């Protein structure tokens, strides 16, 4: 299997996951303070939304890479 087809399959999977989950969240440490033996930190939970057009675009592009034959 060629690298182009593998990339197409990966794009298909990423596009489908983007449409199903519509985004993902992660935790980010923003502030940290040390005062003697006391340590304080603040963790923010951030959500990243995946636009529908990006998911559909990844599916279409991945499908084209898988279906269209390689020239040469």
The pLDDT score that the predictor gives to residue 31 is 78
Q: Confidence band (pLDDT; 50, 70, 90) for 72?
A: low
User: Which of 57, 61, 56 minimizes the C-alpha distance to 19?
Assistant: 56
Residues 15-28, mean pLDDT to the nearest whole number? 90
Distance between start and end Cα atoms, the chain: 15
Q: In the structure encoding, which two tokens stand for residue 62, read together?
A: 């991945």
pTM of the model: 0.70
The pLDDT score that the predictor gives to residue 71 is 73
Residue-wise pLDDT for 23-39, tens only, equals 889 898 877 888 888 88
Q: In the structure encoding, which two tokens stand for residue 14, read together?
A: 């990423």
């Amino acid at each position: 299997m060629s690298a182009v087809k593998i990339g197409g399959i990966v794009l298909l999977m990423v596009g489908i996951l983007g449409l199903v989950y519509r985004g993902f969240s992660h935790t980010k440490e923003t502030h940290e303070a040390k005062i003697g033996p006391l340590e304080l930190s603040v963790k923010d939970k951030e959500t990243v939304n995946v636009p529908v057009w990006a998911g559909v675009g990844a599916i279409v592009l991945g499908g084209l890479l898988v279906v269209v034959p390689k020239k040469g």
